[in-house]
Structures are given as C-alpha cells and as structure tokens.
Amino acid sequence: MENSNAVGCEKIKSGNFSSDRGELMPVAAILAAVFLWGASFPAMRKAVGDLSPWAVMWVRMVIASVLLLPTAGKFVAGSYRKGDWKLLAAMALFQPCLYFLMESYALRFTTSSQAGIIAASLPLMVALGAWLVLSETITRHAVAGLILSIIGVACLTLLDAPGGAAENPLLGNFLELGAMASASANFLVIKQLSRRYNPWGLTAIQMTAGVVFFIPGLFFLLHADGSVWTLQMILILIFLGGFVTVGAFGLYNWGMSRIPAARASVFINLIPVVAVALGWSLLGEGLTAFQCVAASAVIGGVWLGQRS
C-alpha cells in the first residue's frame, strides 16, 4: 500500500494525471473515427445493394463537398509550384476516384466483413510504397507481414462457403485490394503535397473532383426506383457522406495531432474488428472456421509488419 501511495503521490506531483486526462479526448476521437470507418463497410454494402455504386458515390461526394466548402479558402494559391498539377491530379485520381469506385463495386461482390479485413493491409502497402517510391527503409518484419497478409487474403477468398453472402468473393476481394493499393498511392502523393498545402484544402479538392468523376451517378440516381428512397437509405447516405467521409477524417487527424503518430496508427487495426462485428450483427454475415483462421493471418501479418 505504501508503495502504491507513493506512486500516486509522484503522479500527482509530476502532473501525470492531468496528462492522462489530456490524452483521453484524442484517443476517444481516434476510436470514434475507427468505429465510423469500420461501420462504413456494412453501410456501403447495404447502399450499393439497392442503388448503383455510381449513384451512391455521387451523393456521398456532394454531401462531403458541401460540408467542406468552408475550408476551400484554406487552399492557398501561393503554395502552388510549377508542375504541382501533376501531383494534384494524381491525388484526385487515386482517391476518391479509383479508390471509391473499386471499393463500391467490391462491396457488391464480397461481404463487408471480408472487405474490412482486407483493408487492414493498408499500412503495410503504404510501407512498401514508401520503400519503392520514397526510398524509405523497410524492415524484414514489414516484408514478412505483407506476405502473411496476402496469403491470408487469398485463403479468405478461396475458403468462402458455397452459397455464402459473398456473390463473387474472388472479384470483390481483388477489387478491395485494388482500392487499398490506390489509397496507398494517394497517401504517398499527399505526403509530398501536405508539406505546402493545407490538408483540409486538399480534401476539399478531392471531394470536388469526386463530384465531377461520379457525375454519371446522377443518371442512375434519377432513374432509380422510387421504392429505394426509404428513410433508412437516406440516413445511410447522410452517414456515409457526412460522418464517414468528413467526420472520421477530421476526428482522426485531430486526435493524431495530439498523440504520437505511432500510437494513433495502432488503432487502425480495429477497423476489421468493427467491420466483422457489424457485418455479423446488422447484415447476418459470418465467417467459416477456416476463414477465421485466414482472417487471423491477415491481422497477424499487420501486427508483425508494425512491430518495429
């Protein structure tokens, strides 16, 4: 007891208690962002089951663009350098255009649970891309983790139960991997641009580009069956456009700005857990025993790759 009291007194004297309280809100913000990202998988799967992926993404981009409109002025024209248009165009192409296009169609063919698990491979893809493009060092743990994750994804796809919830898991999971590769490429471009440009301004540009890219969705939207427009569908679209596209991004970046980035990135590994849990509880999805082993291999690969 005396030792514990002494430790408590030392914490009070050193101000550690106030420090712990100071980290509570950033951690809560990051956890909220992770929950929103994980919840986006079953929400998107439900939306694209009733509406064209192009229509869903166009509405999502419009909602996000309207919410981000006040930040458009933060994109300072004076930051522009000759040739930056190539990086800006690549940024918009990789995300939201290719990323959301592939992920939207992926969730038509695979389950939100499998897609969420595959999304866990993103940090390792970023590490590999940084090694190839930016000449950053990559550890043996990262390479081994990436290989283990890829094997896990392959097994997760091939072991899908016949007649399961996934319509075409091979195609769907391949598209989800493509979406993660596109997101990784976007991250590398953003890393270079964010040295001179405001991140919220860049996000506003991305959402505006998304509105233009997904404009064919307006055609599908206008020709959608009237029975699609239930209160549930409207709430899902608002959730995806406002809470996920804008809210999760803001919460995560605010939290990451107040605690070490290494600690913040660890929470990303909770996304597949949320996706699987909500896919099971809301959509009745499930994983076979063998798929659970494969999913463990994916998560284990991510853990191994981030050990350092």
Task: Report pLDDT digits (tens) over 229-248.
Answer: 999 999 999 999 999 988 88
Query: What is the pTM assigned to this prediction?
Result: 0.77
Flag whether pLDDT at 74 surpasses 50: yes
Task: Report pLDDT digits (tens) over 109-166.
Answer: 988 888 888 887 787 787 788 788 777 777 787 778 778 877 877 777 677 655 566 7
Q: What are phi and psi of 151, to 5 degrees?
A: -60, -40
Rounded Cα gap, residues 136 and 261, in angstroms: 17
What is the predicted pLDDT for the residue at 264? 61
Q: Write down how long the chain is.
A: 308
Q: What are phi and psi of 118, to 5 degrees?
A: -65, -35
Helices (H), the chain: 2-14, 16-50, 53-68, 84-92, 99-109, 112-119, 122-133, 140-158, 169-193, 199-213, 216-222, 231-238, 249-256, 261-266, 271-283, 289-305
Q: What are phi and psi of 113, to 5 degrees?
A: -65, -50
For the chain, the structural domain boundaries read: 24-305
What is the predicted pLDDT for the residue at 121? 78
Flag whether pLDDT at 6 surpasses 70: no
> What is the token pair recorded at 56?
């869903």
Residue 82: C-alpha distances to residues 77, 86, 186, 288 (Å):
12, 9, 20, 53
Rounded Cα gap, residues 195 and 33, in angstroms: 24
- Based on its alpha-carbon atoms, the radius of gyration of the chain, rounded to whole angstroms, reads 21
* Chain centroid to CA 240: 12
Q: What are phi and psi of 80, to 5 degrees?
A: -70, 140
What is the predicted pLDDT for the residue at 10? 45
Torsional class of 291: left (φ above 0), alpha (ψ -120 to 50), beta (otherwise) = alpha
Which one is predicted more confidently, 170 or 4?
A: 170
What is the predicted pLDDT for the residue at 61? 94
Which one is predicted more confidently, 39 or 69?
A: 39
Residue 29: C-alpha distances to residues 34, 81, 263, 297, 302 (Å):
9, 34, 13, 28, 22
Residues 6+ apart with CB under 8 A from 292: none
What is the predicted pLDDT for the residue at 56? 95
Q: Are 299 and 120 in contact (CB under 8 A)?
A: yes
Task: Report pLDDT digits (tens) over 247-296.
Answer: 887 787 777 667 765 566 667 767 777 887 888 888 877 777 777 888 78
Neighbours of 73 (CB within 10 A): 11
Rounded Cα gap, residues 151 and 230, in angstroms: 40
Task: Report pLDDT digits (tens) over 185-216.
Answer: 888 888 788 777 777 778 888 888 999 999 99
Flag whether pLDDT at 226 surpasses 90: no
Give the pLDDT band (50/70/90) at residue 73. Answer: low
Which one is predicted more confidently, 248 or 78?
A: 248
